[in-house]
Amino acid sequence: MDLSILEALEREKVLEVLQRDKLLRSLEDERIRKMKLELQEIRRKGAKSFARQYSERTCARCQRPLGKFWNCGAVCQGCSHRICNKCRIVISAHEWKCTVCHAFREVKIKSGDWFLEERSKKFPGGAERHETVGEKLLKSYQRLSHISIVPPTPPPFSEGPSFSRSGGLQTSRPFTKSMENLFVSLTSHMKKVSKSQNDVAVVDRALLTADYGKISTKERRSQSDTAINRPFGLTKAPSLPDLFKRPKSEDEEGAGTSEAYTDEDVSPNTEYHEEKRGSISSLCTELGIFTCNNSVTGEIELALGYSIKTSCLEISIRACRNLAYGDPKRKKCHPYVKVYLLPDKSPNRKLKTAVKRNTTDPVFNETLEYQIDGAWLVGRVLQASVWHAGTLKRKVFLGEVLLPLESWDFEHSTTQSTKWHLLCPRVTAPEGPEGGAGEIHHCELMIKAKFTSSPPQLPKAADHQREETHMGQLSILITGANNLAILRSSGSLNSFVKGCLALPSGVELTQKTQVQRRRSGPDWGHRLLFTAVPEASLKGSSLELGLWDHAPFGLPPRPLGRAKLEGAWSLQKLLQTPNMWLEFSLPFHPSANGKKM
C-alpha cells in the first residue's frame, strides 16, 4: 500500500472524528445558550433599575419590602444583598443562597465554565481559551486545505528530517502534507506558546510577590496590557463565580456596608433616606469638582445586552481589577461604578453599583437597567466610570470606559459575554467656566436629523473629483429641550436656532431658522436644511446648534446656549440610513447671561 494514500486516509479519518466532535459541540453550544438565557431571565427579575426603587429595606430579588424586626431578610453570602425568605434556596441546614446566586452556580457547573476557568489558571490564554484543540485543528486544516488548492512552489531541498521517511514521496508530499505533520507543527507551536507564557508568568509572579508594594501604579498599568500580568489577575479573577470564593471577612464586611454605602453620595445636609437621585456630590463629580487621581489603572469587566421585546438595555457590571488606590497614601480603595448613557447626564438617568470596601479588585455582579427604545440608542455612549468613595463624601475618579452603543453588537442580545475593558483617564475635560450652576449640565437638546442623498449628478467639469459630486441634504429638526432652566424662569421665548455645519475641508455652512414667538414649552419645530453637503465628508463634520432668544426693538438677540452634533458614529449612522429621521439628544450648554456665543 502506498504510504501517501494511507496518510491521506488517516487524515480523512481524523477529520471525520473532528467533524463529529463539531456536531456535538454545536449541540452543546445551543444547550449552554439556552441555559444562559434562562439565567438572564432570573437575573432580570431582580435587576436593579432606576425605574424601580430599591433600598436596603426591600428584597434584592423580588423587591418585596422587608420589615425592620420581623421578616427582615438576611444577607446572601454570595452577592451580599438582603434577601427575603422566599427568594432563598436552602443548600444545607446552615447554608442558603439567593435564587440568582444559586442559578449562577448551577450554570457555571453545567456549562462547563468551571473547567475553562480552572484551565485558564494553568494555561492563561486569551480569548481563544474556550476553543478546543479539535476545533482549532479543524479550522486550521480548513484554512490549509484552502491554501493548498494553489499549486505550491517546490520546497527547498533541505526541508526537514521528518519528511524523508519514505523516499518516493518527495514529489507528492507538498500536495498532500500529511495530517500528522500538520499536527506536529501545530501542536509544537501551541506548546511553545503556552510554555513561553508560563515561563513569563512564573517570573512575573515572583516579581510581584517580591515587591508588589513598591511597584508604581504606572508600571502596573503597563503590565496589564500584556499577557504577563494575566496569571496574577486571574488568580484574583473577579469573575462571577468568585462570589462564592471570596474570603469570609470580605463577605461579612460587604454585607454590613455595601448596601449602606449605596447612598453614600447624598450630600451632608440631606436626609440619609432621601431619594438618591440627583445627589449633590454626584453633580459635583460631573462638574469636575472631584479629586482627580493622577494615574488611572486597571480594567472593568462588563457585559451589555439589549432586549428589543422589553426595550431594556442591561449593563452587567461584573468586576474591576488592578484599580489604582483612591487614597494612595493610606492604600485605601472603596470603589463603585457609575453609569450614564451619554449624552444624557440627567441625574435620574444615573445608575450606580454598591460600594465595595477595601479592594482594588472589586466584584460587583450587578445588573443595571435602562428602559430605552432601541432607536434612542443611536448616538448614545455608555459611560461607565469607577469612583472611590472616600471619607467626608470625597470622590476620587479612578477611570472610565466609553462604549459607543451603535457599534455594539447586540445581535446575541440576551447572552452577551462579559469583556474586560481598559479603564481610561477622563477624556471629556471638565466643562469650562460657562458651565455655571449644577443644573444646567443636565440640559439636552432634542433633535431629529435626516440625510438625503441627491441622485448622482453628471460631473460638470472634468477637474472635479467624482466623490464631490455625491451631494446630499442634511435636514435638522430641533424638537425641544430638556431641563432648560431659562424657559422656566422667563415663561416664554421667542426662540430661533442658528446652525453651523463645519465640514472637514474647513467650509462652514450656516443656516438660521425662523423665530418662533411666545412658545412657552420647549416643544419647537425649528427646521434647518443644509443643501449640497458632500456625502463623503459628512462623517468628519460637526454641527453646532445655537439657540437664541430674539429680542424686540432691534436689540441684539440673547444667546441661550448651544449644542453640538458630532462624532463619526452618529454621522455615520445618518449616512447608513438615508431618508430616515434619527433622533439625537445632545448635551446642551446654556450660555451665561450676556456672554457672546
Nearer to another protein, 132 or 148 (CB): 132
The helix or strand, by DSSP H or E, that contains position 122, with its residue range, turns out to be helix 113-122
* φ, ψ for residue 361, nearest 5 deg: -125, 60
Nearer to another protein, 235 or 267 (CB): 235
Question: What are the Cα distances from residue 357, in Å, to 149, 229, 591?
Answer: 60, 24, 41
Shortest approach of another protein to residue 361 CB, angstroms?
13
Cross-strand pairs, 302: 317, 419
Please state the three-class secondary structure of 9-24 as a single string.
Answer: HHHHHHHHHHHHHHHH
Q: Which of 556, 587, 566 is nearest to 440 (CA)?
A: 587
Nearer to another protein, 365 or 591 (CB): 365
Shortest approach of another protein to residue 18 CB, angstroms?
8
Shortest approach of another protein to residue 105 CB, angstroms?
5
Query: Which residues of the shown chain bind another protein in the complex (CB under 8 A)?
Result: 10, 13-14, 17, 20-21, 24, 27-28, 30-31, 34, 77, 91-95, 105, 108-110, 112, 114-115, 117-119, 121-123, 132-134, 179-180, 183-184, 186-188, 190-191, 235, 241, 244-249, 251-253, 256, 358, 391-392
Question: What are the Cα distances from residue 444, in Å, to 73, 380, 408, 545?
Answer: 41, 13, 24, 12
Shortest approach of another protein to residue 421 CB, angstroms?
24
Nearer to another protein, 186 or 536 (CB): 186
Using the CB atoms, write b or e for 455-492: b if 16+ within 10 Å. eeeeeeeeeeeeeebebbbbbbbbebbebbebbeeeee
CA–CA gap between residue 333 and residue 356 (Å, rounded): 8
Report the alpha-carbon angle 43-47-52, nearest 5.
150
Shortest approach of another protein to residue 505 CB, angstroms?
56
Q: Is 193 helix (H, G, I), strand (E, B) or coil?
A: helix
- Residue with the three cell numbers 470622590: 395
Strands 291-292 and 395-404: parallel
CA–CA gap between residue 291 and residue 312 (Å, rounded): 33
Is the omega angle on the peptide bond into residue 459 within 30 degrees of 0, that is, cis? no
Residue partners of 115: CB distance under 8 A and separation at least 6: none
Nearer to another protein, 9 or 551 (CB): 9
Strand ranges inside 210-293, DSSP E: 291-292
Shortest approach of another protein to residue 89 CB, angstroms?
13
Shortest approach of another protein to residue 9 CB, angstroms?
8
Nearer to another protein, 92 or 593 (CB): 92
User: Amino acid identity, residue 346?
Assistant: S
CA–CA gap between residue 464 and residue 302 (Å, rounded): 49
Nearer to another protein, 192 or 595 (CB): 192
Report the alpha-carbon angle 320-256-268, nearest 5.
85
Shortest approach of another protein to residue 28 CB, angstroms?
5
Shortest approach of another protein to residue 351 CB, angstroms?
26
Nearer to another protein, 235 or 510 (CB): 235
Shortest approach of another protein to residue 114 CB, angstroms?
4
Nearer to another protein, 114 or 175 (CB): 114
Question: What are the Cα distances from residue 109, in Å, to 9, 32, 121?
Answer: 38, 11, 17
Nearer to another protein, 234 or 280 (CB): 234
CA–CA gap between residue 108 and residue 131 (Å, rounded): 17
